[in-house]
A and B are shown apart, each in its own frame.
Chain A
Amino acid sequence: MMDPILEVKNLTKHFKTKYGLLHAVDGIDLTLERGKTLGLVGESGCGKSTTGRLILKLIEPTTGQIIFDGKDITNYKNRAMKEIRRDMMFIFQDPYSSLDPRKTVSQIISEPIIANNILKKSSDIEDRVTELMTTVGLAERLYNTYPHELDGGRRQRIGIARAIAMEPKFIICDEPVSALDVSIQAQILNLLKELQRKLGLSYIFITHDLSVVNHFSDDIAVMYLGKIVERAPAEELFLNPLHPYTKALLSAIPVPELDVKMERILIKGEISSPINPGEECRFAKRCYFCQDICMKEPKLLEYSPQHFVACHRAEELKGLEGGL
Chain B
Amino acid sequence: MKEKDLILDLQDLYVRFEVEDGVVHAVNGLSLQIERGKTLGLVGETGAGKTTTALSLLRLVSEPPGVVECERLIVDGKDVMALSQKELESFRGNDIAMIFQDPMTALNPVFTVGDQIAETIAIHENISQTEAQKKAIDMLELVGIQGERADEYPHQFSGGMKQRVIIAIALACQPRLLIADEPTTALDVTIQAQVLNLMRELRDHYKTSMIMITHDLGIVAQICDEVAVVYAGNIVEYGTLQDIFNRTKHPYTEGLFNSLPNIRDRKAELNPIKGLMPDPTNLPQGCPFHPRCPYADEKCKEEQSVKWVSDTHYIRCIAYEREGFHIKLEEKR
Contact = CB atoms under 8 A, between A and B. Distances in A.
A215 B193 CA distance: 21
A185 B45 CA distance: 11
Nearest to B45: A181
B109 interface: no
Interface string B252-295: 00011111111110101111110011000000000000000000
Contact of B246 (A187, A258, A271): A258
12 contacts: A43-B188, A43-B189, A43-B191, A183-B255, A186-B273, A215-B261, A238-B263, A254-B196, A256-B220, A258-B246, A266-B190, A266-B197
Nearest to A182: B259
Interface string A12-56: 000000000000000000000000000000011000000000000
A235 B192 CA distance: 24
Contact of A254 (B191, B216, B245, B262): B216
Interface residues of B, number: 45
Contact of A208 (B189, B215, B218, B220): B189
Contacts of A206: none
A200 interface: no
B263 A214 contact: yes
A184 B276 contact: yes
A83 interface: no
B136 interface: no
A127 interface: no
B131 to A, nearest CB: 31
Contacts of B222: 254
B160 to A, nearest CB: 6
A49 B121 CA distance: 42
B31 to A, nearest CB: 25
Contacts of B55: none
B271 A254 contact: no
B158 interface: yes
A45 to B, nearest CB: 9
B245 A257 contact: yes
B270 A256 contact: no
A279 interface: no
B25 to A, nearest CB: 18
B261 A212 contact: yes
A144 interface: no
Contacts of A145: none
B202 interface: no
Interface in A181-211: 181-187, 189-190, 208, 210-211
Nearest to B46: A181
Contacts of A260: 221
B270 A186 contact: yes
Contact of B194 (A151, A214, A266): A266
Given A190-B272, A214-B261, A248-B190, 16 more contacts: A43-B188, A43-B191, A183-B45, A183-B256, A184-B272, A184-B276, A252-B192, A252-B193, A253-B189, A254-B216, A254-B222, A256-B216, A256-B220, A256-B257, A257-B245, A258-B241
B242 interface: yes
B298 to A, nearest CB: 24
B219 to A, nearest CB: 5
Contact of A182 (B160, B197, B242, B260): B260
B271 A324 contact: no
Contacts of B260: 182, 186, 211, 256
Contacts of A251: 193
A186 B221 contact: no
Nearest to A46: B188
B217 interface: yes
A270 interface: yes
A5 interface: no
B26 to A, nearest CB: 17
B215 A181 contact: yes
Given A208-B189, A252-B189, A258-B221, A324 B263 contact: yes
B263 A267 contact: no
Contacts of B189: 43, 208, 210, 249, 252-253
B161 interface: yes
A258 B194 CA distance: 20
Sorted nearest first, the 3 A-B pairs with minimum C-beta distance are A254-B218, A215-B261, A186-B272
Contact of B218 (A151, A185, A248, A256): A256
A190 B189 CA distance: 24
Given A183-B272, A186-B272, A255 B160 contact: no
A33 to B, nearest CB: 17
Nearest to A44: B188
A258 B240 CA distance: 11
Interface in A230-272: 234-235, 238, 248-249, 251-258, 260, 264, 266-267, 270-271
A298 interface: no
A225 B264 CA distance: 28
Contact of A264 (B193, B242, B272): B193
Contacts of B256: 182-183
A183 B266 CA distance: 18
Nearest to A153: B276
Contacts of A252: 189-190, 192-193
A234 B161 contact: no
Given A189-B270, A256-B218, A256-B221, A249 B263 contact: no
A246 B269 CA distance: 25
A280 to B, nearest CB: 19
A190 B45 CA distance: 19
A274 to B, nearest CB: 13
Interface in B144-183: 158, 160-161
A238 B192 CA distance: 20
Nearest to B48: A181
A43 to B, nearest CB: 4
B266 to A, nearest CB: 6
A181 B216 CA distance: 10
Nearest to B258: A186
